[in-house]
Structure 1
Amino acid sequence: MGDYQQFVTDVTTRLSRMAKGELYVAGDSLDRDSLWLTFLESFPAGTNPRFRERSEYDCSTCRGFIKNFGNVVEIHDGQVRTVWSGVSAADPVFSVVAGALDAFVGTLPLSGVFRSTEAQYGAKTTRTLRDGQVEVWHHLHGQVAERHRTEDVGAARGTFDATVQVFQRGLTELTRQALDTVVDLIDDNALYRGEEHGRAVAEFRSLQNGWTQAADARAFVFANAMNPAARFRNTVIGTLVQDLSAGVDLEQAVRSFEAKVAPQNYQRPTALITPAMVKAAMKTIDELGLEESLQRRFARLSDVSVTNVLWVDNDTQSRMKDGIEGLLMQAATTRSSGARLRDAKPEEVPVLTFMKDILPGAASIDLWVANSHEPHFVSLTTGRHPDAPRLFTWDNDFAWSYNGNLTDSIKEKVKRAGGNVTGKLRVSLSWFNHDDLDLHVYEPDGTHIWYQEKRNKLDVDMNASGPYSREPVENVTWTGKVPDGEYRIAVNQFNKRESARAGFVIETESNGKIEHYSYERAVSQKETVEVGRMTVAGEVITDFRPGKDMQAGSAGKDLWGITTEQFVPVSTLMYSPNYFDDSEVGNRHYFFMLKGCVNDQPTRGIYNEFLRRDLQPHRKVFEVLGDRTKCEPSDDQLSGLGFSSTVRSSVVAKVTMSGGRRRLISIQF
């Protein structure tokens, strides 16, 4: 028969030990009915007296215990253990019964946390009177520990189930790479009050490590669901990890996080690049053998093959890479007219016509370098190691950098931002950091054009909210009738976020003429700078009177070793490197390299927009590399003026033809 009282004692003792920790439930209500039947049917043959008139364990008291406590489990060392584990091991009958119950419950999935409104299930003994005698019946019984009791079982279980779901989603959806990135940001002090979230990230990352190594992942989730880190996914720092795990751009994800937790004028102290990103980029660089390719310098005339030069000054020929022998220049036979160059209106000639009909016969070329050409100043760069693999999308190691380390003009930036640059009149604002500058234009009748009253004219308004750009623009364009009269232009600092790269540039355009006016001081919070007053007649700007501290394009100034507002000799004329050797990759630029033009500032030799496709996944790292591996100034560099084929512009050239004739030409781009 077995020792039932010992069986009861063993079960009660086992349950008491389990109750010192958290208890969980396996299976559902239907499984509890099956558990009771398993108990009744698990006795070895010949030992089950259940069909007697009465038996100690075939009663409602024992049934109540088994249905309520029989499927309760603990999680010990990552393993699910039932209340029947190891019970009555020495008993030939009840060890079999306990083993059957243990095996059955072991097949059931974990379904929730154990909570009850009852103080106990079952009873230790009951008594009945039979034939005048008192009979004592022993039953399965157990106390419900105080920690497992509650008045609202549904709410308690619902809260636990919700936590399990959040925890499970966090473990499966939040990637290790995203967690590592956030840890790096916190360690680098690149996240607002990041140190406050460091412990939460570390705890969740530790839990995720444990989960991936757990023999029973479901048991691990249940066992750790009470840990505060289980709800990490739904915390503010968890939303940052969510965004990064979902592939959101690092800059955008951090800005979204900072919008939730940071003051409006918070300025992040460091760039958003992490050691993990650097490691991944360097792995690619190493695999492709590009380490030497990252070492850049200014290009010299001797670096450039004569086959990639469209025109060269006679004094410069001997310095070319392939020498005079490789240079093929068409000799012109135009007879000199003997006329002197007069102050006359230049001939307007499209650049393609200039290249085809005028350039082959030119003996010398001088360009009128105006102040308005300041954004067109350009330097040619190359690699320090000619045999290193290429970095860019074209098959050579040359690149270029416009003044201010920009690759295109303000107009081009406006176009990229979706602004209209084809109207009759345009006023554009450009600046170089994360500040929120606002352009204000007042029409002659007092109409105020600004971000709150765009009047269908202001079509680009950047850095008002994230994601922020370090090449922001604002743009006002008149496509319909342009009123005659005086216009007032101002710039207001709506939100100062940085002190680096302060100041701004205003670009105006009408009738194909582009002018620039720069402000080189920092604009304080809420300060308004009076840019100037602009007179328009017949839809054309006829006069511009700059405001205080605005630098206009009328007086000459020293730039890159030359003085503007005068003619400067051209040494060579070439296409941009993406059009060298009959390549045609992207937009073509025309470079007029000027004698004596020397860029005296460290210049970027790497731009993300130039990178070959397999390097694009590491744009963030290359952005930093480009900024930190600038080309150091050299006296024998190739610098001058550059003009894009996609941007409407012009430059006046004084051309002396081979026969002595001199021509004043406005080259139209």
Structure 2
Amino acid sequence: MKNQEFTNNNQHYRQLEENMQKEFHQLLCENQPLFKVALTDDLWLHYLESLELSSRQQYNCSCCKAFIRKYGDLVILTEDGQIKSALWHPETVPDYFKAAVTQLKKVVEASSIKTVFYSDQRQLGTPFSGERSHLSLMLPKHYVSKSALKTANQLMAEKKAEFQLFEATLHMYSRDSVSIMKTLIDSGALYRSERFIGMISWFDEAQQVILKEKDALVRERLMWRYIAKAKTGYCHLKNSMIGTLLDDYQEGINTDELIRRYNDKMDPSQYMRAQSAPTEGALIEAEKLVEKLGIIDALDRRFARLDEIPEFIWRSPEKKVEKQKMGLFSGIIPKIPKVKIIDWPITTMTWKKFSETLLPQVNKIEARVDDTNRLMSLVTENIPDSKSIFQWDNPFSWYYHGGVDGEIKRRVQEAGGRYEENDIRCSLIWENRTDLDLHCLTPAGKHIFYNRKRETNGWLDVDMNVRGETMYPVENIR
């Protein structure tokens, strides 16, 4: 009879495992963040004491005990700030375990959030030990921490610290201040403000949702929900350029001065650049960091070669060097006839005519560059197949100096063109009174240029130097 009872209970136990895993994965299919709660009681004792006295010893397992104590407190948060246990669902478990699972669910859902959950491995718990199976779960791949610098425990501790900072920041800035600064950032009046649109929009929404909630417990849970979904750095808004902007606004600084102070701080020669030489210790730590990230090879960069660029309008022809037979008098320099210089008249030539009539015959092109600060360089990996350090799928990148992107934005906007909020924008600047023209061939085969400024969704909205009117021209197609 005892063997039969053990077999039946063991069957119930397998059903408990299967149902727990099924419910858990259904929750995670919704891409819900996981959280840990702050428990004051031992979950394992609640579990064990809710089982029948006669069979407690059978389930007093060290593997299951470790699992329940470490992962039994996992929960999700609903959009309205309600806690739901991620593991314990009494409505789907065998009758034998209903009392125990109901108690676990009750204790977990009555607790407050402790932190966002992170894991260094997919397997939670020990699935098998000897001939017995145990409570365990397999996380989907995208739930496993990808950080090469911090452990899961360090990330969870970091989120706890971010909660304190985020809570203080929520109450530091008024709703009017945040709303007005969001409008200013969206307007594009600030230099490179597009990089902060996501942060200010996230904070603006979080304030609206969280601060209107009257229940303090629900408000706290909503804060955790926003923290879990925040991109890196969003919770540190107070210490960012957005925080500086909000501080200045709340001090009563007028808009013109506000923009000037912001742009000064965002000056490419100053922003995010060290103002003093690093210490020896900092250099050693930086070496360790890039080694840990596995990007040492990727940081070895070189100039890209012409043969690596897939398409050219024109390239210089390859010269075939032929060995010439030297004559008896080849070392004697002959008399060079004088060349008559013809004063050719200046004529206007379109790019179409230039590319079709001259380029095919050209062996060499030289260009005079008045301002070398406007030059950009295309660089790529020096060691093939290095670990990617970019958000795109190829190893090419570029670098420049002199704030050329800020200059483009200034010229486009002063000329009445649209710099931001375009699917694609192409801008051309140069430094003299020459009349250069910007052309675009659309995917539909339409040609946008000075004589046909609008085609389908494209528009040449700035066209300059038709009469050589400025030394600082720009053209803009969007």
Q: TM-score range with shorter-chain normalisation?
A: 0.3 to 0.5
Q: Normalized per residue, which structure has more strand?
A: 1
For normalisation by structure 2, the TM-score amounts to: 0.45
For normalisation by structure 1, the TM-score amounts to: 0.33
Higher RCO structure, 1 or 2 (CA under 8 Å, sep 6+): 1
Q: Which has the larger radius of gyration?
A: 1
